[in-house]
Structure 1
């Protein structure tokens, strides 16, 4: 019997397939689509579309492995639980460490994105207000969070559809920009794929909610590929549209690529709508990120890798209220005081390591346990490590340092326990 099943404070299973898909979409179709294409184009040049395809391929392998594992272990915590159960406590801990630290930084980045689009002159204050408001929504219950995410996803999809239609239908569109030229090198392609992978990584939120999903063996394997498929279609349409209007060079230097694309397409009146859509998208990502980080924090607190007090579940709202409050407080402090733009690459490194552990865990499943075709976890693990170490050097060094710090903390705690015994 699992910890969650054997305790009265286990979370309630309230979410169906559509709720899980919406939460996954809210995590993926977020601020990344408004910002990720520019640095990816700077790295890959005209190879942006192949880089997007490579990122999607690695994401598909990760999603398949995660879905099979989530159906086998329908508990809060995602790869933290899978690594612990399939590879041993250390690997589960390392995955959870990378996820919590990396995604906490991502939360702050999303909050600051809200501020920079909604009210640039007071970006930090708006960011903190957004964190407080969305933490309160999550505190009130996961069903309310799913409902709000559904609204956000609908708004963002409408804005992205308007961007794609405006750019592709305008006279400024030139499909010659879709061709891959000689400016694309192998390292640039891999680096761009690693940066674009950051925008796909939200399907983990579905797996981390495994303890709150109805009929998880059926719901999670359906919800994860559905959410990923919809996201890929949307990203491809937007990438084609923006490339057609701006071309790889202008796109690489664009500070707000989607806004600049609609302006270049001759519809400047749409720019404020795109800015508002970006702010709403970042809110959606922030909402889902806080949700996912708090559930992994809950799982790690249950195993005493984090303070046990964080494992409490609210008797009325059936949410890990202390974990959510703690995550919200840390993110609010970061959003108020730090420049977290550099944390995006660092977060990508941590997330890719997290999924490498997920794929390694899926490799150990037997056919009776729903193991995917062997090539899927193998390609997923190799792809994650390849993209992680192809990221900019600063991101690799900072990410590796944080992972090493987590391993050192684990070793010290284990040594102290042995000494006490």
Structure 2
């Protein structure tokens, strides 16, 4: 979670909610908590790799599992473009799109050769990013140029707050990654329900500190138009010498996230291709490098095109919409979980679990609908395309099964 999202998501959220940005952050955190709790309960019951792709299939049916997987692939593909554009806007703003495309091409080539981000490198990246964020907070707060009056609630709307919450949800995505790797976790029934809320809580503290600091430094109007808000906040504090450090920190965070995202999306694409939800050709594995090279190239190509032609705020909105749909399926799946105690009566743990799942489901739907209209329309269109692909595949499968049963003769 603590990656590139916090470097870029504050600006579109401020454009939506203005000084009510922090309320939007709180709403996003509540929905994220519900999603995390539901994901933890499901991961404890189904400690398998795949996350909601598995949960939806097991609890709600094959279509809902497919819809979750499809939402994950398209949403995270958009996230890849957002990460690449974050690199561009912080490293070389005048040529942000060109830098973004170069980053995608370079990391796709790295992934193609089977090079993955190790656990040690992950820790180093997180340490660097947290150190940079902490320095931004300290520098801006100590500069005396941050104005607490900027935090006062001005004019705002409920729609603006909900829209900001949906956009800020982009920065929270990632807390359920441990659930998608359930088979690789020791004692998942005990570890996962503890790890997810802990990670979410730590990220929220960091995000709140950064959001308060940047909002106090820039004000809602200037923050809303900032392409690199944290760098702008440091410059506003009169410490321009630290600005390159912030830009490097943002680039490190974005490149680390992009490397993992391309890896994850290509592997999910591989799994869905093996299940024939996507073209079977994408299931090929390179004989030397042992990677799904066609899926890698396909994902990299789509991300490169998005990074070349789209706006970072647009892809953040689209990504948030798709990921919110993904977690809506997770909450709906968690609602169906049965308590191991007193089958005829709801145990207290199950009652709370169902309440949290209901709040999470409603929250996901509301935030998704409240996103900017282009994000809602494009997200809905892509989901409809996914549903059509599923329906065509299902009809073809049923027809082939019928032919096999009848020996190729009409029934």
Q: Secondary structure at the match of 1:368?
A: coil
Which of 164, 182, 189 is the equivalent residue of 1:192? 164
Which of 243, 259, 262 is the equivalent residue of 1:290? 262
Q: Does 1:339 align with 2:319?
A: no
Give the aligned partner of residue 246 of structure 2.
274
Distance 1:224 1:317, change over 3 A: farther
1:208-219 equivalences under 5 Å are 208-219=180-191
In the alignment, the residues of structure 1 paired with residue 180 and residue 100 of structure 2 have an alpha-carbon distance, to the nearest angstrom, of: 25
Distance 1:209 1:136, change over 3 A: farther
1:136-151 equivalences under 5 Å are 138=111, 144-151=117-124
TM-score (norm 1): 0.85
Distance 1:353 1:209, change over 3 A: same
Give the aligned partner of residue 78 of structure 2.
105
Which of 252, 259, 269 is the equivalent residue of 2:231? 259
8 Å CA contact 1:205–1:292 kept in 2: the answer is: no
Distance 1:255 1:124, change over 3 A: closer
In the alignment, the residues of structure 2 paired with residue 105 and residue 133 of structure 1 have an alpha-carbon distance, to the nearest angstrom, of: 18
Q: Secondary structure at the match of 2:176?
A: helix
Which of 123, 138, 143 is the equivalent residue of 1:170? 143
Distance 1:401 1:76, change over 3 A: same
Offset at 1:155? 1.0
Q: Does 1:398 align with 2:375?
A: no
Distance 1:278 1:86, change over 3 A: same
Q: Secondary structure at the match of 2:174?
A: helix
8 Å CA contact 1:297–1:323 kept in 2: the answer is: yes
Offset at 1:286? 0.9
Q: Does 1:134 align with 2:107?
A: yes
Give the aligned partner of residue 160 of structure 1.
133
1:4-403 equivalences under 5 Å are 28-135=1-108, 138=111, 144-181=117-154, 183-308=155-280, 310-311=282-283, 323-335=295-307, 337-341=308-312, 342-368=314-340, 373-403=353-383
Q: Does 1:413 align with 2:403?
A: no
In the alignment, the residues of structure 2 paired with residue 76 and residue 65 of structure 1 have an alpha-carbon distance, to the nearest angstrom, of: 16
Q: What whole-Å deviation, never above 9, does each CA across 1:157-177 have from its counterpart, x for those lacking one?
A: 111101101111221122232
Which structure: larger Rg? Answer: 2
In the alignment, the residues of structure 1 paired with residue 192 and residue 262 of structure 2 have an alpha-carbon distance, to the nearest angstrom, of: 20
Distance 1:417 1:99, change over 3 A: same
Offset at 1:301? 2.9
Offset at 1:418? 2.1
Q: What whole-Å deviation, never above 9, does each CA across 1:240-281 have from its counterpart, x for those lacking one?
A: 111222222222232322112111212111111111111112
Distance 1:330 1:210, change over 3 A: farther
Aligned CA RMSD, in angstroms, stands at 2.5
Q: Secondary structure at the match of 1:367?
A: coil
Distance 1:76 1:380, change over 3 A: same
In the alignment, the residues of structure 2 paired with residue 238 and residue 245 of structure 1 have an alpha-carbon distance, to the nearest angstrom, of: 11
Distance 1:50 1:121, change over 3 A: closer
8 Å CA contact 2:91–2:251 kept in 1: the answer is: yes
Q: Secondary structure at the match of 1:76?
A: coil
Q: What whole-Å deviation, never above 9, does each CA across 1:336-392 have from its counterpart, x for those lacking one?
A: x43253222111111111110000001111123985622111000000000000011
Q: Secondary structure at the match of 1:151?
A: helix
8 Å CA contact 2:269–2:278 kept in 1: the answer is: yes
Distance 1:135 1:208, change over 3 A: farther
Distance 1:298 1:114, change over 3 A: same
The worse-fitting range, judged by mean Cα deviation, of 121-130 and 392-401 is 121-130
Please, which runs of 5 or more residues in structure 1 have no aligned partner?
1-27
Q: What whole-Å deviation, never above 9, does each CA across 1:66-107 have from its counterpart, x for those lacking one?
A: 122122222232111111111001111111111101211221
